[in-house]
Chain A
Amino acid sequence: MAVDAPARPPDGEPPVLEETAEVDTPGLEREAERAKARQGFLLGLPTIVYLLVFFVVPLGFVVAYSFATRTRSGRTELRDFNLDAYARLGDDIIMTVAWRSLWMAVVATLICLVLAYPLAYYISTRSPTVRNLMLVGVMIPFWSNFLIRTYAWRVLLDSDGLVTQAFEFIGVGDGRILFTSNAVILGLVYGYLPFMVLPLYAAIERIDWNLVEGARDLYASGWSAFRRVVWPLSRPGVIAGSILVFVPSFGAYVTPAILGGNKEGLLGSYIVLQFLSARNGPVGSAVSVVVLVVMLVATLVYFRTGGKNL
């Protein structure tokens, strides 16, 4: 390193080189740290660009559209931003659809929880080999397309379908549930059950079995030990699973369209209707934004309450 030496004393010792090096070191260190950060950013860049272009920007469009103006001809123009679309959200039709969607999503989530918990508990208490086989079993449905599987249910539930005939054979009602809300709930539970099982399994499997023995040793019956120890400790799984089922159920489009026959509109199909048929982009966007916000808030609240007890 070339060092200008104006401060060199006339006939004293030469400037101490180590001293200058020492002063430079923190700068070099910062430089190295910055280079490292740059490296990390470069590695993440492709994905960041992808998410920006295909997720953040379109989401911005949706938000912008919700404040936009609809012309007489049904075009959406990004001018005169206003709250007209949001004012329409209180309409009876939208409220009815929203409540129906909420109710269906809650029912589907609860049914999934009731079905998944015992299964997850059973899987997590098996030997590792059996455990892995059963987990693969839970995930097998993912290997084929969701749309195709939903159409398969339509075949099964048809008036001469296998399920309908079986119901009629054992004499439980007339068994014709296709195009009813029951069929939609059945489809939602079928589609999202694995999303409940997996987080529940992960949470239960992590519980230290000594704690259950500890509870039993302290006079807890099997049920009390479950209620006071296993259940509270599996709550992170319950919360994660419920969010993973509730969120897609709340905005479901494919299942209600195929199994519900769109006889009773849900939010998903209502939004599609606004964009494609009613040609009312602002209202469709406003409903989308509200659904997104509701889901986001629900997620945040759930994680907060769950996180405290971890």
Chain B
Amino acid sequence: MEGTTNGQRPAVELAGVVKRFGDRSGTEVTAVDDVSLTIGDGEFFSLLGPSGCGKTTTLRMVAGLELPTAGSIRIHGEEMGLRPPNKRPVNTVFQSYALFPHMTVAKNVGFGLEMRRVPQSERRALIDEAIELVEMGSMAHRKPAQLSGGQQQRVALARALVNRPEVLLLDEPLGALDLKLRHQMQVELKNLQREVGITFVYVTHDQEEAVTMSDRIGVMDDGRLLQVDTPEAIYERPSTRFVADFIGQTNFLEATVAGPTEVVLANGDRLRLASDHPAGAAVAVTVRPERLTVHRRGEAPADRHTVDGCVESVTYLGNAVIYGVGVDWMHLEVRCPATLAGDRRSVGDDVTVSFEPEHVALVTG
């Protein structure tokens, strides 16, 4: 291991990575399409996308369980090439955990150390420490079948972390847990990562999970990496329609680029919005439901951008109210903090919907 020099180099670099799967009938599927990506040392990085978008395949290529059709994968500057998984400085937490059913928790955790021929005396202490880290001390002598899903998940984590990998790869590790446990594990995972300081590459299709845990997120769709940014930037300034739609709820207002700092909405309204698209390009303006406000017709403040419409639906959520507002050229969703029933708009009301110009983002695709 290179020790301290690792700090200066990115933990993982993908350059032009392509993976095609072919079957015998000759049809080829491009699972990963020209992905280039740099993940910093000590970063919590998430690959986010719907199932089949290529995120797991990307992770498996870093682990060495799949070999790329083209492109290069480096870990701390070292080219991985055709290296088999057992010769790579990474460990994986599998979606199914892949715990060895015929071994106890302690044996499972010690497997990697044993394979690397760490002397027995050192092994014991490392195993105990790792099991303690995930709070499974009392279960060391149980077999995986005697553990709950959450406990198995912890063991899988300890089994990977005990080896002090340069990069820890996690493939939807919380997918099999129920919602409450998942929320709890999200917090624990994030704390654990901060504690051990290892680079985490986390694959998930759950946007909330990615947003709460990650330092940065890479959104993938159909094999391509669409946007890499902080959770906030991805949410507030999505670059494509897919990203905006995938991360949370949103509204799209069809528009055309009028100039470098102006777009024209489909109803003819003009909006000051910088873009590097040529004039005349078809784009969309996206604005989150919670960034919209509903007013009685004509009562909107003058400094906000406004659209007139008519309430089509009202959904009471307890802590919020969702208004569906029909505008003659589209439909908007507005999320308002819940107000008392008397102060609520009702279906059929004529209203004005308003938003701050800086709360919108321009997307393509």
Question: Interface stretch among B110-118, B206-214, B260-268?
Answer: B110-118
Residues of A contacting B101 in the complex (Cβ-Cβ under 8 angstroms): 211, 233
Residues of B contacting A224 in the complex (Cβ-Cβ under 8 angstroms): 115
Residues of B contacting A221 in the complex (Cβ-Cβ under 8 angstroms): 84, 86, 115
Bound CA–CA A229/B114 (angstroms): 14
Q: How far is the CB of B313 from chain A (nearest CB, A)?
A: 45
Cβ-based interface call for B94 (8 A): yes
Cβ-based interface call for B102 (8 A): yes
Bound CA–CA A217/B84 (angstroms): 9
Interface size grouping (class) on chain B: 20 to 34
Bound CA–CA A216/B115 (angstroms): 10
Q: How far is the CB of B117 from chain A (nearest CB, A)?
A: 9
Bound CA–CA A279/B65 (angstroms): 68
Bound CA–CA A219/B165 (angstroms): 11
Bound CA–CA A220/B92 (angstroms): 13
Contact: B96 with A216, CB < 8 Å?
no
Contact: B98 with A210, CB < 8 Å?
yes
- Which residues, 65 to 112 on B, are CB-close (under 8 Å) to A? 65, 84-87, 90-92, 94, 96, 98-102, 111-112
Contact: A218 with B112, CB < 8 Å?
yes
Cβ-based interface call for B205 (8 A): no
Cβ-based interface call for A232 (8 A): yes
Bound CA–CA A229/B111 (angstroms): 11
Bound CA–CA A69/B64 (angstroms): 74
Contact: A216 with B111, CB < 8 Å?
no
Q: A208-B96, A218-B115, A219-B112 are in contact. Are A213 and B85 (CB under 8 A)?
A: yes
Bound CA–CA A215/B160 (angstroms): 11
Q: How far is the CB of A92 from chain B (nearest CB, A)?
A: 45
Residues of A contacting B64 in the complex (Cβ-Cβ under 8 angstroms): 216-217
Contact: B98 with A214, CB < 8 Å?
yes
Cβ-based interface call for A73 (8 A): no
Residues of A contacting B86 in the complex (Cβ-Cβ under 8 angstroms): 216-221
Contact: A216 with B84, CB < 8 Å?
yes
Contact: A229 with B100, CB < 8 Å?
yes
Cβ-based interface call for A277 (8 A): no
- A181-221 interface mask toward B, CB cutoff 8 Å, 1 = contact, 0 = none? 00000000000000000000000000010110111111111
Q: How far is the CB of A131 from chain B (nearest CB, A)?
A: 15
Contact: B96 with A218, CB < 8 Å?
no
Residues of B contacting A208 in the complex (Cβ-Cβ under 8 angstroms): 96, 98
Contact: A210 with B96, CB < 8 Å?
yes
Contact: B100 with A309, CB < 8 Å?
no
Contact: B63 with A217, CB < 8 Å?
yes
Bound CA–CA A224/B87 (angstroms): 13
Residues of B contacting A216 in the complex (Cβ-Cβ under 8 angstroms): 64-65, 84-86
Bound CA–CA A229/B98 (angstroms): 11
Contact: A219 with B65, CB < 8 Å?
no
Residues of A contacting B98 in the complex (Cβ-Cβ under 8 angstroms): 208, 210-211, 213-214
Contact: B115 with A219, CB < 8 Å?
yes
- A23-65 interface mask toward B, CB cutoff 8 Å, 1 = contact, 0 = none? 0000000000000000000000000000000000000000000
Contact: B102 with A232, CB < 8 Å?
yes
Bound CA–CA A229/B86 (angstroms): 15
Cβ-based interface call for B163 (8 A): yes
Residues of A contacting B55 in the complex (Cβ-Cβ under 8 angstroms): none
Q: How far is the CB of B88 from chain A (nearest CB, A)?
A: 8
Q: How far is the CB of A275 from chain B (nearest CB, A)?
A: 47
Bound CA–CA A50/B138 (angstroms): 54
Q: Which residue of B lies closest to A235 (CB)?
A: B102
Bound CA–CA A224/B91 (angstroms): 17
Bound CA–CA A208/B145 (angstroms): 14
- Which residues, 157 to 210 on B, are CB-close (under 8 Å) to A? 159-160, 163
Residues of B contacting A217 in the complex (Cβ-Cβ under 8 angstroms): 63-65, 85-86, 90-92
Q: How far is the CB of A226 from chain B (nearest CB, A)?
A: 13
Among A210, A213, A214, A232: residue with most chain B CB under 10 A: A214
Q: A211-B100, A213-B85, A214-B100 are in contact. Are A219 and B92 (CB under 8 A)?
A: no
Q: How far is the CB of B293 from chain A (nearest CB, A)?
A: 50
Bound CA–CA A201/B114 (angstroms): 29
Bound CA–CA A59/B84 (angstroms): 58
Contact: A213 with B65, CB < 8 Å?
yes
- Which residues, 255 to 302 on B, are CB-close (under 8 Å) to A? none
Bound CA–CA A224/B114 (angstroms): 11
Q: Which residue of B lies closest to A127 (CB)?
A: B24
Which residue numbers of B lie inside 8 Å of A, CB to CB?
Answer: 63-65, 84-87, 90-92, 94, 96, 98-102, 111-112, 115-116, 159-160, 163
10 shortest A-B CB distances, which residue pairs?
A214-B98, A218-B112, A219-B115, A210-B98, A216-B85, A219-B86, A217-B92, A220-B115, A217-B85, A218-B111
Inter-chain pairs besides A208-B96, A232-B102, 20 sampled, C-beta below 8 Å: A210-B98, A211-B101, A214-B92, A214-B94, A214-B98, A214-B99, A215-B100, A215-B111, A216-B65, A216-B84, A217-B85, A217-B90, A218-B91, A219-B112, A219-B115, A220-B115, A221-B115, A222-B84, A229-B100, A309-B102
